[in-house]
Every structure is written in C-alpha cells, then in structure tokens.
Amino acid sequence: MDINELPSPQFVINETGMISVFLPAFEGEPSTPTISKKDQTTLHFQRSPQGDVLLTNINEETMLALADVKKILVIETNVLKGIDLLDKALSAYVKSEETNQKEVHDEIMDTIERAYEVTVQL
C-alpha cells in the first residue's frame, strides 16, 4: 500500500449495528485483515502482512460502536469510476433528464472492487 493515512473514512452503521467502511481500492487481495485502535481517533488497518494504513479522524460514536463488534465489512471502491458516475448523475440532474434506475444501480455496483469482512481488535 502506498498510502499511509486515510483521513475521515466513511463508516456506516446500520439499524442492526452492523458496521461498514468505504475505502479506496488497493492493489492486491487482502490477507487476514484486521483493524485495531491506535488512539482515541485513529485506527490501524492491517490489510495484509506487507500493507497497512492508518484511518484517522474517526468520530467518537464510530469508535464506541467498533468496540462492540468483532467484525466489520470493508468495501473497496474504484474512486475514478465513482467520480465519473457522480459527474454523470449531476449532469443528468442539471439537464433534468430521467435516469434509468437499474442502469444507475449497475453503474454504482461497478464501482465496488471488492468487499470483505475484517476482524476488529479494539
């Protein structure tokens, strides 16, 4: 991994307490990934033996929720595809074009490179 810090990653906590985090797609497949607490607002994401990154500026609510779970879902997305999709959606909105919901769903799913469970050790 070439990135050593990802500030303010997007965490989502659903109504059942399951936690997901959206990260940019990294090269290679993860190998026994874990997330551990570094300090009050920072997590250490060990994606593989040779790749890790710090997730910084994590809010208190998310840190508390993470302390209550054993695993979370990491969703790695293709950032460039996501930007292109957003640009198309905004252009359609500005032009007041009707959007094909299935096509939009398929394009959104195409931005996801991989999703996998990660062990939480807080």
Can you give the pLDDT at residue 1?
A: 40
Position with higher pLDDT, 69 vs 89: 69
Instruction: Quote the mean pLDDT of the chain.
Output: 85
CA 78, distance to chain mean position in Å, is: 10
Number of structural domains the chain divides into: 1
Across the strands, what pairs with 24?
Answer: 77
Task: Work out the number of other CB atoms within 10 angstroms of the CB of residue 88.
Answer: 14
User: Which range has the worst mean pLDDT, 44-48, 93-97, 116-120?
Assistant: 93-97
Under 8 Å between Cβ of 42 and 94: no
Mean pLDDT of 89-105: 64
Can you give the pLDDT at residue 35?
A: 97
The range of the structural domain enclosing residue 47 comes to: 5-121
Confidence of residue 76 (pLDDT cuts 50, 70, 90): very high
Output the pTM of the full model: 0.75
Q: Where are the alpha helices (DSSP H) in the chain?
A: 60-66, 79-94, 101-110
Which backbone phi and psi does 47 adopt, to 5 degrees?
-80, -35
- The proportion of the chain whose per-residue pLDDT surpasses 70, expressed as a percent, equals 78
* Residue linked to tokens 């033996």: 49
